[in-house]
Amino acid sequence: MKRFQCACGAHLFFDNVSCLSCGREVGWCPGCQNMTALEPLPEGGYRCGHADCGAILLKCRNYAEEGVCNRMVPVGADQAAPALCDCCRYNAVIPDLSIDGHRQRWAELEAAKRRLFYTLDLLGLPRGGEAEGFEPPLSFSFMADALPDAGLWRGTGKGEKVYTGHAEGHITINIKETDAVERERLRTDLNESHRTLIGHFRHEIGHYYWEVLVRGRDEARCRPVFGDHDHPSYAEALERYYEQGAPADWRSNFISAYATMHPWEDFAETFAFYLDIASVQDTALHFGLGGGGYTDNLDDMLRSFSWVGLVVNEINRDMGLIDLVPEIITPAIRNKLDYLHALVRGGRQRAAR
C-alpha cells in the first residue's frame, strides 16, 4: 500500500472518507491512483486535490448514497459519469439492507474488496465484467444464510445455506465472515493459521485467475506443478479430504492443509499467498521497512518478504498477537510461486494488450 497525503499535509489512509486532521472529504481518484482531498466545485462534483492530477470527479453511488465506498468516478467530456466506481460495478448481489447490521458488514466486505483490487492493479492483472465481454466475467455476491440474533448466528436449513466460493467468474462471500468472533471460531475449528476477510477474497480470486490465465491456455505447464486437476475429480477429492484430512507431512509441499485437497485448491491457496507477498512488499517499500517492493525478481521478493515477516512476527509476539507470516517457503512451495510469478507476468502483458 502506498502512502497518501492530504492537502493539509496529514497522512491519509486507504479506507478514509475524510482527513482525520483537517476534516476535508477524501476519496480514491482513478486518474492518479491516489487517496486525495476533494475540492467541491460550484457546479457540483469535485476536483482531485492531488497537485499532478486535478481530474473532475463524482462520488461512486455507493459512496454518496450508501456510505460503504470511498472511490470516485471520472466525469467525461459530456459531463456524464458512471454511477458506480470501478470496484462496486462488479457487484451482482449485496446484503439485505433491511436487516440491522448488514450495511456495516457490507462496508467491511467492500473495504476488503478494494484492497484486493489495489493489489490486482499493482500486478497489472486483467479483469472485466459482462458489459465488457470479458470471459469469464468477474462478479460478486455478498449474502447471508442466517440472521444475527443477540450477537449470534442462527442455524438454517440446508437449502438456505450460503457457501463462500467461486463458480465461472462469480465469487460469493457469506457475510458472516465479517463477524470476528465467528471467523475466529472457524479459524480454530479448521486449524487455519490465518482466516481473514481479505484472505477469502484472495483465495477466491485465485480460482478466478485459474479460469482466466490457465484453463485452455496453460494447463500443460500447470499440471506438473500443482497436479492433475482432472484426476481425481473435485467431488472425489473433497469427499476424501473431509474423511481423511491432510497428510501429516503437508507442510513440506503445500502452503496450507486445505491446499492438499485438490490441485485447484492448491493453486488458489498459493495464489492467495502470492498476493500476500505482493501486498506486504508494496507496503514495506512505501513505509520504509526495507525491500524493493513488487518486482520481476522472485528471489529478491522472497528474501525481502522473509525479512519483513521476521521483524513483524517478533513485533506481534511482543504484543501477544498471531504471526503475520506463519508460512515456511519450502523448495516445493517456492517452485509453485515461481510458476505463479511467470503466470502473473504473462497476465500483465495480456492486460496491456
Handedness of CA 220, 224, 226, 232 (dihedral sign): positive
Round to whole Å and give the CA distance between 117 and 112.
9
Cα 258 from Cα 278, distance rounded (Å): 22
Other C-beta atoms lying within 10 Å of the C-beta of residue 170: 18
In percent, the amount of the chain with pLDDT more than 90 equals 62
Residue 183's pLDDT is what? 66
For 277-324, write each residue's pLDDT tens digit.
999 999 888 888 777 788 889 999 998 888 888 888 888 889 888 787
pLDDT of 308 reads 86
Residues of the chain above pLDDT 70, percent:
90
Q: pLDDT, tens digit, for every residue of 45-83? A: 999 988 889 899 999 999 999 999 999 999 875 666 678
Is residue 173 within 8 Å of residue 164, measured between CB atoms? yes
pLDDT, tens only, 140-164: 999 987 554 444 444 444 546 788 8
Q: Is residue 27 scored above 70 in pLDDT?
A: yes
